Amino acid sequence: MPSDPTIARLLIRCPDQPGIVGTTAGFLHTHGANITSLDQHASDFEGGTFFMRLEFHTPHVDLPATGLVKAFDDFVAKRFEMEYRITYGGDRKKAVLFASSADHALLELLWRAERQQLDCEIACVISNHDKLRKAVEGFDVPFHYVANHRGRRRAAEEQMLALCAGADLLVLARYMQILSGDFVARFPNRIINIHHSFLPAFVGADPYRQAWERGVKIVGATAHYVTADLDQGPIIAQGVADISHRQNVEAMKRLGQSVERDTLANAVQWHLEDRVVVDGTKTVVFR
């Protein structure tokens, strides 16, 4: 849903130690920010990493946005060695979507964005096929065909980098090309991919066929941040569906597409709502 412009979010990661919640909440209270939601997590009982997400009501805050950030930095963040992010409801994130020829995951995102169920602006769609142009343009979203085959990768990535300028999030909605390590490194924890299996089962190509050959009774999909290691990035969301001997590979794909699009859309929504923090190879998702 569209963010309430009177709400801001504070997302924190820091070494765990006593007093973080009390100090942070006290700071916000002192400055007239009323906390409307707070969730936190410590990775270990003692000595681990601490994660916290707060939402606060801004109308009575006694400082402008930049002033509040500066004060928070000076009086709280430095003391606790926090990495943090403050987002105001009015600032919509900018997302670029990538797809190949399958449309189910892409169209789900375009749909949800159009209905304001995803709080972002879709800057454009990039595809290595021209097939989905009409469907995308029907949503009044720019479509860019960028050929990306062996021997053209570098040129393609330069083109794509230009299109992604200013993007807060890249979503690989069944984009069937591998991005280079250099490209990925420019968007740390800001590229979300949907893998069409229940990772870590069935990494690599054609996972539905692998699943069918193994005779599993449940198929799944995994939304994760993209890292240099293929299919190894931190998992944000997973979904599953029951299958039986009656489904052949094609039927499994059809069923799986429904899981894929819901799983990806959930992950994207949680990212946009600043609910996801990366903890090494894992994620903390404040839902």
Specify whether 140 is catalytic.
Answer: no
Counting every residue, how long is the chain? 287
Q: How many CA atoms, within 13 angstroms, populate the side-chain half-sphere of residue 78?
A: 7
Give 126 or 223: the residue with its C-beta nearer to a copy of itself.
223
CB of 266 closer than 8 Å to CB of 222: no
In this chain, which stretch among 72-80, 142-150, 161-169, 233-241 interacts with a copy of itself, using CB under 8 A?
Answer: 233-241
Binding of a copy of itself by 37 (CB under 8 A): yes
- What is the Cα–Cα distance from 157 to 185, expressed in whole angstroms? 13
Helix (H, G, I), strand (E, B), or coil: what is residue 36?
strand
Among 8, 199, 264, 268, binds a copy of itself (CB under 8 A): 199
CB of 51 closer than 8 Å to CB of 3: no
Binding of a copy of itself by 18 (CB under 8 A): yes
List 16, 39, 206, 231, catalytic entry: 231
Q: Which residues contact 137 (CB under 8 A, 6 or more apart)?
A: 143
**Interacting residues with a copy of itself between 115 and 134 (CB under 8 A):** 117
Size of the site for a copy of itself (CB under 8 A): 64
CB of 80 closer than 8 Å to CB of 155: no
What residues act catalytically?
231
List contacts with a copy of itself (CB under 8 A). 1, 18-26, 28-30, 32, 34-42, 45, 57, 60, 107, 111, 117, 138, 198-202, 213-218, 220, 234-240, 244-246, 250-251, 254, 258, 262, 279, 281-285, 287
